[in-house]
Structures are given as structure tokens and as C-alpha cells.
Amino acid sequence: MDFFTDANLASRRDLLFATAGGLALALAHPARAAQNTTSVEAPMASAVPYVEHRIAHGGHMIYAREYPGQDPTFVLMHGFPDNLHIYDYLVPYLTRAGRRVVMFDFLGFGQSEKVSAEGYQYTFKQQVGDVAAVVDALKIDKFVPVGHDSGGPCAANYALDNPDRVAWLCLLNCYYSDSPTWRLPEIIEVFGDPWLRELAQAFLSNPDKMNWLITFQDNHFQVNMPPNLRERFVGIVRPIVDGNFAGGAGPAFSQMTSQVRESVAYNTSRLPDVRRFSPKVNLIWGAMDPYLTSATAAAIAANYPHSEVKSIEAGHWLMIDKPAEVARLLLTAA
């Protein structure tokens, strides 16, 4: 595994120094830890209303929204620590074009069930099962899996397991296998490192501390952004993340991030399958992402026999930064 590059070690050191010195200031002055609220426009109205579904998977409930239209259906998958609302600005462009769209919250996130059973473990395998449950319940035959962030490996692995169900695969600013081209965001470092488990739980158990950590991470995600995209980040992305944690997504986030390294090792073992994958793969990428960089997109694309990278001047949440441009590339892809 190549997670501990010099850049990654530097980011861990910076976070630990900031934690030691900055957390006390944040707790003494909570207002300084929070981002200023910013007014941004609401999403455009969809051409068709959505139908809500509550879909069973393993005895638990997945929340999904379906916008009727023409196939192949776009099935949109979020990462962590967010939920289906990251696609609110994108979906109206797709439905305006007459396309069928489905988006859903993985178990433990958004409006899907927060499983409280003792011993229940949220896993990447379970998330692939969430996808299967949704598309089977909605009788979706051939579709376009669209995966962002940690939803990218989920989309990719579902596609590897079910190539006959995939029209083509779309990956948005995600990771997959072990590679020196990407690094973990600091918040994932904290929750993903078993040696930092007590620190992670201290953050998760205290809203002020967690607010400080998320704000620290926000600032790092925005480092390459112009002011207009920073406003969208503060006004759209941050409320989604805050709402997700307020809604009880902390346990799923904590469990999933603790498995990132194991998941990447598994994905790396699947590279021979990736290199035999016959459907088209398009990677639509926000070039301003400081963690999952354009080099990451190129490295992922190099493993697929039929792939293309489409770069956009946007950050990690490119579907929020430039929804019309992302939609255009989705709609014109082969």
C-alpha cells in the first residue's frame, strides 16, 4: 500500500498540530469554527417530479428517488460524508433532457435507515448490495452507474460484477486502487487510522469538536477554488454534510472510513478484472480537487481498456460547482 507518501505524512502532521493548537480556540469561540453562511441559488426545478421509494435490503430500508424518463437510467451514488442531495443541482438538467434518473442514500446515510442493531457493520460490500437492491426493486435493466468519491469504487465494483447490466460506467472524482496519485483527506485519515480511533471518537462524540474538524477539512478542499466556487461549497456542500451528521450518519461514516485501506487493497486485487472490463468508462473530473487529482483520473483510466477523462474547472463536488457542464458530458457520452 502506498498511502503514506511524504504528502500524506505532511497532511497528518499538519492536522495533529492544528488539533493541538486550534481546537481549544474553536471551542472557546465556536463562531470562529463555523463557516459563514452564504446565500446561493436554489436548484432548478425538475421537468418531472420524483417518486419516492423505500426499498428493502437485508431487512433494512434504503431511501430512493426516481425521476421517470428514457433509459438507460442514470443511477447516482454519493460518497461520504454526504448523501443524495449532492445531485440536486445536476438532476434537473438530466430530467429536462428526458432521461430517467434514480438517486438514493446508502444505508446509514441521508434518509435511509440508520441500523442500530448491535454488531451491525456498514461495509463497502453492503453498499454494492444497496445498488443491486435499488436497481432490482425498480426493475432497471441496463443503466449507467455514476459514482462519486467513495461511491466510485462501489459503482466500479458493481459494474465488474454485473457487466451485462451496465450501459457504461461514469466515475466522478473518486479513488479505486492503491496509487501514489491520490491522498486521503485529513478527516478520512483520522477516522481511517486504527491508531487514531480514540481521537476519531472524541471528535464524533462532541459536536463542537466535529464542527472544528469539518471546518478544517472544508478549508483544505477549497484551497484551489476561486471565490464563486468557495461560495457554493460553503452554501451547498457544507449544509449537506452538517445535515447528514445531524441526521445520524456518524456511525456509518466512522465504520466506512475505518475500512478504506482494506477496501483499496481489495480493489487493487481486482485490477486484472478491471483490465478486462469491456463497457465504456468515462471519468468526469473536477480538476481543482487537491486530493483526488487529475493524475488520479488518468491513473484510473489507464486500467480500463475503453476509457476517457473529461476535465472540468471545478472542485471535488463538481456536480455542485458546474452542474450544467457535468450534465452535458453525461448526456453526450457514448
**Domain for residue 258, yes or no?**
yes
In a domain, 30, yes or no: yes
In a domain, 45, yes or no: no
Gyration radius (Cα) of the chain, Å? 19
Whether the Cβ atoms of residue 214 and residue 242 lie closer than 8 Å to each other: yes
Q: Cα(57)–Cα(51) distance, rounded to whole angstroms? A: 19
Q: How many whole angstroms separate alpha carbon 83 and alpha carbon 107?
A: 10
Looking at residue 119, its pLDDT comes to: 84
Domain-located, residue 44: no
Residue 121 resides in a domain: yes
Report d(CA 233, CA 238) in Å as an integer.
Answer: 6
Query: Which residue stretches of the chain have pLDDT < 50?
Result: 1, 3-4, 13, 16-36
Classify residue 122: in a domain, yes or no: yes
| Per-residue pLDDT tens digits for 179-223 | 999 999 999 999 989 899 899 999 989 999 999 999 999 999 999
pLDDT of residue 38: 60
Task: Look at residue 42 and tell me if it is in a domain.
Answer: no
The reported pTM is: 0.91
CATH number, domain with residue 304: 3.40.50.1820
Instruction: Report the alpha-carbon distance of residue 227 to residue 41 in Å, rounded.
Output: 15
| Contact status, residue 127 vs residue 260, Cβ threshold 8 Å | no
Tell me which residue range forms the domain holding 210: 6-34+50-332
Whether 1 maps to a domain, the answer reads: no
Provide the domain count of the chain: 1
Region of residue 73 (left: phi > 0; alpha: psi -120 to 50; beta: else):
beta
Cβ-based neighbour number of residue 265 at 10 Å = 12
